[in-house]
Every structure is written in C-alpha cells, then in structure tokens.
Amino acid sequence: MNFRRLRAVTRKEVLHILRDWRSLLMALAVPLLMLLLFGYALTLDVDRIPTLVYDASRTPQSRELIERFRGSRFFQILGAVNDYRAIERSIDRDECLMAIVIPHDYSRDLLSGAEAQVQILVDGSDSNTASIALGYADAVVQAYAMELRAAAFNQKGGAEMKPPIEPRLRVWYNDRLESKNYIVPGLIAVILMIIAALLTSLTIAREWEMGTMEQLLSTPLRPSELVLGKMLAYFGLGFIDMLTAIAVGVLVFKVPLRGNPLLLVATSCIFLLGALFWGILLSALARSQLLAYQMGMLTSFLPAFLLSGFVYSIENMPRLIQWITHIIPARYFITILKGVFLKGIGLRILWGEVALLVAFAAIVFILATRKLRQKVA
C-alpha cells in the first residue's frame, strides 16, 4: 500500500466531486429532504380517527358515552348522522373511518340492568388500522361499562366494587408511544445505505465510459489503492450526510439520544464504509453507469426499506424471508441505532451487530478489490 498513490487517487476524486457542483448539492440536500419528508409523512400512529355518530337513543346516557369517545385523543368526532345510509356514503368517500351506532333502546336496557349494545362500524380496507381502531373503541366502551357496573353495585348498597385485576402499565424506551421515535433512527440507516451506494456505484463505471480507466491501469496503481482512494473521497460526503441526519433526528424530531454519541458515530462510520464499498463493487461489476445506478438502487433501497425491520417487523415475515434478512447489513445497523437512541445500551450488548458490520465492510472490500484485479487482468 503506497500512501502517495492513495492520496493522489483521493485528490483526483475530490476534485471531480467539487467540479460537479450539481451532484454535490444533490448529495448533500437529498438526505435532508428524504429525512424530513419520510419523518413527517411516514407515521404509524393511529390517532384522531375520523368518526361519525348515529345516536338513535338521544338520551343522557347515550350522550355520556359519546363524550367518552370525544374526550379520547384517539377519536375525532366529525358529527352526527340520522341513518346508516349517511354512514355508508361517508365511508365510501373516505370521509370517515369509523362510526358509532347507539340503538334507540340503549338507555332503557342500560337503566333496567340488561345488556346494552353499541355497534361499531369500521372501514376494513386497511386491516391494520381497522384492527387498532376497534381495539381503541373496545377499550373506551369497556372502561365506561366498568364504571357503570361499579355505580350500579354501589347504589344497591354493596361495597365499593373493584376490578379483580388492576393492570399497571409501564412503557419502556418510548413511553409516549410515538412512531417517530421508532421511524427516524431507522431512516438514518436507510438514507445512508441509499446515498452511499449511489455515490460510489458510478465511480469506476464512469472511468470505463470516459476512457480514463486505461490510463489508470497503465500506472503502478494497485486495485486496493484505487478502491480505498475512491472510497475516502466519498466518505467525507457520507460523513456530512450522517451528521446531518443525526442532528435532524435529535433537534428537529426530538428523538431522545440516550446512548453514547461517540458509539453512534463510530458504528455509523463502519456502516458507511460497508455501503461505500458495496457501491464500488457494483461499479466494478458493471461498466455502464446506467446499469450501475440501477443495481445500486435495487440492492440498497429495497432491502434497507423492506427487509431490515425498518417498517415491517421481521418476526412477522415468512420463515424464508427471515433467513434472507440476515444478509442485509441495514438490519444490524437499525438494531444499533434503536439501541443507542432509545435504550441507551452500549457495546457490551451490541458487539455482535458491530462485528457483523465490520465483517460486511471487510468482505465487500476484498470482493471489490478482487473484481477490479480481474478487470485489470
């Protein structure tokens, strides 16, 4: 390894980056734009569910139940209707997601001690959202029913009625159950993987298309020096993108950073190295910039977004897909990000994921060097 040749390759690539100011601007602006767009638009929170009310009872008891829904942050009462046809029309137009139907004999059954029924109509087009909405509605109704049962028991001269089991819930790491605390750290991994792979996927392919690769091959430059030199030039850009993503996550989205910031930066650099080497490997495999770009997008965005556990839980995937996720480096980096950001854990627990990221970067570097050596031969 000759550091003079390595520095020359790095300087050449840096000059190329600085001269192409449009690509430089996009490389710095796109990660910030993606983080803000996905951070605000992509949310898993199900609250303020648009709800209609069909109150056929029109009694104080029915109005009290409606107020329970109105007072919950999970429901947004849009208004009242007088028949099922209005509910069906609103659901068909996507104006509401749920409707509460209180029958006309609700108050009579409630006061007589009989079982009073309440109908909940939900748009099941999105099964996940519908299931969550039904769970919220059932919780409101059950809590109200428990209060009515206790009040009736007290009126009959009994002692104060208490539930047989009193659950005391405590949520760790994300006590407010905000999806941004779960999504934004994962977005950092996805953005770094995409940007790093796309930045370097065109470097060697561009040399072949411009006819400058033959000039490089006529020099004493070794394949490892060429790979490292090009990687170091783009590592600076990736490092700026990484710091920007972390700063936006902490300062803009208020994601708690409970762990060691130095560990976060160090592991991010390791993941960034692997992603940059992966882009160089793709560039060495394809002599066309278009093909290299397509391969970079296909092998960076889709696996990092779909198979890393960023949005979809790996435990709920088919067994075969779960096995495939073990070769996706973003899976391990997202585990590290969530561990450092939300749980505040350190290297003593995350050493396995860090070791796998180091192994990935080393393996991809060796493969890129060997493939470039074959191209040279």
Of 108 and 206, the structure prediction assigns the larger pLDDT to 108
Of 12 and 212, the structure prediction assigns the larger pLDDT to 12
The CA-based dihedral angle spanning residues 356, 361, 362, 364, taken in that order and rounded to the nearest 10 degrees: 120
CB proximity list for 285: less than 8 A, separation 6 or greater = 292, 295, 371
- Among residues 79, 75, 74, which one has the least CA distance to residue 55? 79
Encode pLDDT of 199-237 as tens digits. Answer: 787 777 777 777 676 666 667 778 788 888 888 888 888
| pLDDT at residue 52, as a whole number | 93
Domain ranges in the chain with CATH number 3.40.1710.10 = 49-155
How far CA 352 is from CA of 323, 329, 332, in Å, comes to 17, 12, 9
Encode pLDDT of 150-188 as tens digits. Answer: 776 666 655 555 555 666 777 788 777 777 888 888 888
| pLDDT at residue 192, as a whole number | 86
- Among residues 238, 258, 270, 261, which one has the least CA distance to residue 353? 270
Greatest mean pLDDT range, 255-269, 305-319, 361-375: 255-269
| pLDDT at residue 218, as a whole number | 67
Q: Region 256-261: what's the mean pLDDT?
A: 91
| pLDDT at residue 158, as a whole number | 55
Of 348 and 152, the structure prediction assigns the larger pLDDT to 348
237 φ, ψ (degrees, to nearest 5): -65, -45
* CATH homologous superfamily, domain 49-155: abc type-2 transporter like domain (3.40.1710.10)
